[in-house]
Amino acid sequence: MLPDGDRTPPDFMLPLPSLGERLKRPFRRVLYPFYTKAVDAWIRHRGYSKLGLEVDFWLWGQRGNDYEALRRRVNRIIGIRGKQILIAGCGTGRDILSWLSYEPRLLTGVDYFDYARAWKAVRDFAHKRYPRTTLTFRQADLAYMDTMPGESVDVVGSDAVFEHLRNLPAVLREFHRILRPGGVLYATFGPLWYCWGGDHFSGHDGILAGYNHLLLAPETYEAYLCEAGPHRHSEHDGRTWIKNDLFSRLRPIEYLAALETAGFRRLEVGAIIEPRAVQCIQQSAAIRDKLLANQSLLDSVVTGMTIIYRK
């Protein structure tokens, strides 16, 4: 059952980039390709490529995994202009803006929660700035999008959502159903449940607390959540996802297996190592031993993934 009511934060503001952010963009576009290649080579040299996950590139933290670079990758594969795009798990619409500049014909944002006031603000902005694109929003469970016709979408895009899907296989079946033959599924997601900060909250108060969601007893963990003060629904407060139990609890290899089972063909996969996970494990042998008694080192340090697949 979908939640009732508009979840738009009272202090919502249209997430437009600052002047500083706009000035950084040309430098990122030039420098990040060299940076990511150097980081990938360094990580492989350190032996992380032997952990059992075959990827096309490795990243050390989120730098180099910015949304604009990822949009360009998708655009090179399929050409977004004039296409029909579905943004799965759009939240308040902050990710929508980076797709609009490619001028798709139709852009549909879907989210589990209702952010009607935020969606109106984004829609009004898009109508003025990008009149060639029709932008719509709807509240829906991604596993049950019965109102979406089959083979009607060219691209399904998703940012920071796969880790929150309780039933990823069902969602992937829906994505496969609504994508046209040759359509593209893109997603970047994390932090993953078994990594540092995998509950989107643990570690907010220190490096050694990043695995609290895995290591603390239930009552101790609940007290830890309450120590941060009152909770209100927010995309930026991890307790929102904890309260609604919105986690897939899958390991990196299980995400890739689910994509293959759903019938998608792999084009590109990247993995992100969490520097704070490595730091925590190096600082505390006790934490390392407890973790590795129940999970692999790969699960413990890979915080996110980027995938591009084709139907």
Q: What per-residue confidence (pLDDT) applies to 31?
A: 80
pLDDT in tens, 15-50: 777 777 777 777 777 787 888 999 999 999 998 888
pLDDT per residue as tens digits for the range 253-298: 999 999 999 999 999 999 999 999 999 999 999 999 999 999 999 9
Mean pLDDT of 184-189: 97
- Whether the CA torsion 287, 289, 293, 295 is positive or negative: it is positive
pLDDT at 23: 73
> What is the structure's pLDDT at 240?
92
Check whether residue 59 and residue 201 sit in a common domain: yes
- 67 pLDDT more than 80: yes
pLDDT of 7 reads 92
Both 183 and 246 in a single domain? no
Q: Between 156 and 147, whose confidence is greater?
A: 156
pLDDT of 162 above 80: yes
Reading the block at residue 203, the tokens are 């570690």
pLDDT band at 101 (very low <50, low <70, confident <90, very high): very high
- Dist CA 41 CA 176 (whole Å): 34
* Together in a domain, 43 and 183: no
* 244 and 300 together in one domain: yes
Q: What is the mean pLDDT of residues 152-178?
A: 97
What CATH number does the domain containing 131 carry? Answer: 3.40.50.150
**Cβ count within 10 A of residue 189:** 24
Q: At which of 165, 189, 213 does a domain end? A: 189
Largest CA distance in the chain: 57
Which of 149, 170, 189 terminates a domain? The answer is 189
Q: Are residues 135 and 210 in the same domain?
A: no
Residue closest to 298 by CA, chosen among 40, 55, 36: 55
Domain encompassing residue 174 = 73-189
Task: Give the chain's mean pLDDT.
Answer: 93
Q: How many domains does the chain have?
A: 2
**196 and 181 part of one domain:** no
266 in a domain, yes or no?
no
Q: What is the pLDDT of residues 202-249, one digit of tens each?
A: 999 999 999 999 999 999 999 999 998 888 888 878 899 999 999 999
Residues 133 and 213 in one domain: no
Give the C-alpha separation, 44 to 70, whole Å.
22
Same domain, 126 and 37: no
